[in-house]
Amino acid sequence: MLAISSIQPWRDCFDYRSAVYVEAFRPFFIFIPIYLVLSIVLWALVWSGFWQTAIFENILVWHIYEMLFGIGSAGMAGFILTAIPEFITGTKPVVGKKLYYLFLFWLGCRFAFWMIDWLGVTFVALVNLLFTCVVIYFIAQPIISDFNRRHVSLLLSFLSIVGVQVLFYLSLTDWLDIDFLAISQLSLGMVMILITLVLLRVNMGVVNRWLQQQQIVSAFVVRIPAYSISVFLIALYSIVEYLLPFNSILGWLGFAVGASILNLLNDFVIDDVNLFRSPHVVLLTIIFVLMACGYFFMGYDHLSHQLQAVNHFRHFLTTGVFGLSFFVIMSIVTTLHTGRPLAINSGTILGALCILVATMMRVGIAWWPELSANLYFYSALIWGAAFIIYLLTFFNFLTEPKLTEFKLSESMLTESMLTESKVTHPRRRND
C-alpha cells in the first residue's frame, strides 16, 4: 500500500518497458478506479444539486455513456485481452508497446467524450468506436480459429456492444429519431449479457482454482444451457423494453429473467463439497442475486404501477451488478495473474460491502424520494470508495513483477465446457 504514494510506480504507468505492461489488465485496472471516482464524484455533485456546472450540455448523457462504455470498455479490454491468451493456447498476448498505445488510445477517447460539445458527436463517435473495434481485432482471429469455437459468444457480445454504441451516438444526432434513454436501457441489457458470459468462465476458473488449492481432486463445471437461457431472456427483455417500453409483458419477462438467473446458483450446490467456504464464490453468487433482484423488481413495477420506480430498480443492475462484477473480477484477475494464490483480503471484503451498501441506498430512493439528494450523493461516494480501496489494496500487485510464472490451464477453464462427461466432478444435489 505504501508504493502508491511514491513517484516511481506512477512513472512506470507510462513506461511500456515496465511491469505495468507485461499483461493487458494492469494499466486499465490501475486507471479504472481513478477515472471512475473522478466521474462518479462529479456526477454525484451535479445530479444531487450540490454543484452547478456548464461543462456538459447534458450531463446525464455523459454519465450513462462513461459508466457503460467509457469505464466499461476499459474493464472489457483489460479482461478479454488477458483472458483469451489463457483460454486459447498459442494466442499472442497484447503487451509492451502495443498495449501502451492501446491504453493511451483509451485515455484519448475519454478526453474526447469530455469534449464532445466542442469536438462534435461524429468525431467522438469514430474514435470511441474505433477503440472497441481494435480490441475486437485482437481477439477475433484466435476465437474464430479455435477448433471448438468455445468463445464465439464473447465475440458476438462484443459486437453487440459496438452496435448499441452506434445507436447511442445516433440518438445524439438529428440523423435518426431515437431516444437516448431507450438506447441506454438496451445497452445495459447487452452489458448484462456480456457480464453473464464472463461470469460463466470466471466461475469455472475460480472454483477449480479453489478446489485445487484445497487439494480436492475434482473439476467444477457449469451448465451451459442454463446460461444460454439466461442470455436469451435478458436479450428478449431488453429488446421488448426498447420496442414496448410500457407493456405489462415486461413484468412477466422480468420474472422469467430473474428466475433463470437464480437457477444458475444451482451449479454451486454439489454433494460432498461446500463451495461457499470460498469467499470469492460467495461474492460471485451475490452478483447473480443482485441481477435477479433487478429484473424481479422491474418486472413487479411494470405489473403493479404502484411505485413507478423501474429506473430506480434498474440500479440493482448498474450500481450493483456492474459495480460488483467489475470489482470482484478485477480483484480475482489481479491476484491470480500476478502469481499469487486465490485468497481473500480485507480490502476485497470492505470494497464489496461498500458496493452493496451503495446499491441499497441508490435503490432505496424508490421508497424514500424525499431523501433522494442525499441518497444520490452518498451512494455515489460509497460506491466510488470501493474502487479506491481496490487501488490501495492491489496497487503493488499491478506495478510489480509477477511472483511466479502463473497460467491457468486451458482445460481448467474451458475443456469442461465441451462436455461434463469428460471430467470427474462432484455430483450436484438432486442430479
Question: What confidence category does residue 1 fall into, taking pLDDT thresholds of 50, 70 and 90?
Answer: very low
Q: Please write the tens of the pLDDT for every residue from 69-97.
A: 999 999 999 999 999 998 888 889 999 99
pLDDT of residue 418: 41
Domains by residue range for the chain, with CATH: 2-416 (1.20.210.10)
Other beta carbons within 10 angstroms of residue 57's beta carbon come to 10
324 within 8 A of 290, measured Cβ to Cβ: yes
pLDDT of residue 219: 80
Question: What confidence category does residue 232 fall into, taking pLDDT thresholds of 50, 70 and 90?
Answer: very high
- Of the candidate ranges 36-45, 106-115, 197-206, 250-259, the one whose mean pLDDT is the lowest: 36-45
pLDDT of residue 4: 64
Higher pLDDT, 11 or 239: 239
pLDDT of residue 429: 52
For the chain, give the mean pLDDT. Answer: 89
Question: What confidence category does residue 239 fall into, taking pLDDT thresholds of 50, 70 and 90?
Answer: very high
What long-range pairs does 307-316 form, CB within 8 A, spacing at least 24? 307/366, 307/367, 309/365, 309/366, 312/362, 312/363, 312/365, 312/366, 313/363, 313/366, 314/185, 314/188, 315/359, 315/362, 315/363, 316/290, 316/291, 316/359, 316/363
pLDDT of residue 51: 67
Q: Please write the tens of the pLDDT for every residue from 309-335.
A: 999 999 999 999 999 999 999 999 999
pLDDT of residue 147: 83
Q: Helix or strand or coil: residue 269?
A: strand
pLDDT of residue 62: 87
Q: Where are the beta strands (DSSP E) in 259-335?
A: none
Q: Please write the tens of the pLDDT for every residue from 132-174.
A: 999 999 999 999 998 888 899 999 999 999 999 999 999 988 8
d(CA 383, CA 378): 8
253 within 8 A of 237, measured Cβ to Cβ: yes
**pTM of the predicted model as reported, rounded to 2 decimal places:** 0.91
Q: Please write the tens of the pLDDT for every residue from 266-311.
A: 999 887 888 999 999 999 999 999 999 999 999 999 999 788 899 9
How far, in whole angstroms, is CA 105 from its chain's centroid?
A: 20
Say whether pLDDT at 46 is over 60.
yes
Question: What confidence category does residue 408 fall into, taking pLDDT thresholds of 50, 70 and 90?
Answer: very low
Q: Helix or strand or coil: residue 245?
A: coil
Q: Give alpha helix (H) positions in 148-248.
A: 152-171, 180-213, 224-243
- Of the candidate ranges 50-64, 78-92, 168-182, the one whose mean pLDDT is the lowest: 50-64
Question: What confidence category does residue 54 fall into, taking pLDDT thresholds of 50, 70 and 90?
Answer: low
Cell numbers for 57: 450540455
How far, in whole angstroms, is CA 212 from its chain's centroid?
A: 26
pLDDT of residue 55: 61
Count the alpha carbons within 13 Å of 30 in the hemisphere toward its beta carbon.
23
Q: Residue 275, exposed/middle/buried by CB under 10 A (0-12, 13-18, 19+)? A: buried
352 within 8 A of 328, measured Cβ to Cβ: yes
Spell out the residues 6+ positions from residue 287 whose beta carbon is closer than 8 angstroms to its own: 195, 199, 320, 321, 324, 325, 328
